């Protein structure tokens, strides 16, 4: 049986081992949970990516999906942030 001084000298190494074991378990658990969610919702994630890419590259035209909405560009948005549109006076 180890003496108390040997136990005391090994305590920092044991605590370091315990810390890295817990930290490693948390990292592996988080990674496996994220991968599990990606596997579970793979079709939804793939469909969302296809829709976003389709809108980004113009394959999906949002002005036809929402015909009553105003069309705008990022330049228009920046102009409205800098100087809000004025109401026409009659």
Q: Could you tell me if 60 and 51 are in contact, meaning their C-beta atoms sit under 8 angstroms apart? A: yes
Residues in CB range of 51: below 8 A, 6 or more apart: 60
Look up the domain containing 39 and give its range: 4-61
41 in any annotated domain: yes
81 in any annotated domain: no
Give this prediction's pTM: 0.51
79 in any annotated domain: no
pLDDT digits (tens, 9 = 90+) for 63-84: 787 777 776 677 776 666 666 5
Domain count, the chain: 1
80 in any annotated domain: no
Residue 58 pLDDT grade (very low, low, confident, very high; cuts 50, 70, 90): confident
């Amino acid at each position: 049986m180890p003496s108390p001084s040997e136990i005391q000298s090994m305590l920092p190494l044991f605590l370091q081992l315990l810390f890295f074991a817990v930290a490693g378990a948390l990292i592996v658990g988080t990674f496996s949970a994220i991968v599990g969610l990606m596997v579970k919702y793979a079709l939804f994630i793939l469909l969302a990516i296809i829709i976003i890419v389709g809108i980004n590259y113009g394959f999906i035209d949002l002005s036809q999906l929402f015909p009553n909405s105003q069309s705008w560009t990022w330049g228009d948005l920046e102009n409205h942030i800098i100087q809000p549109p004025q109401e026409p006076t009659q």
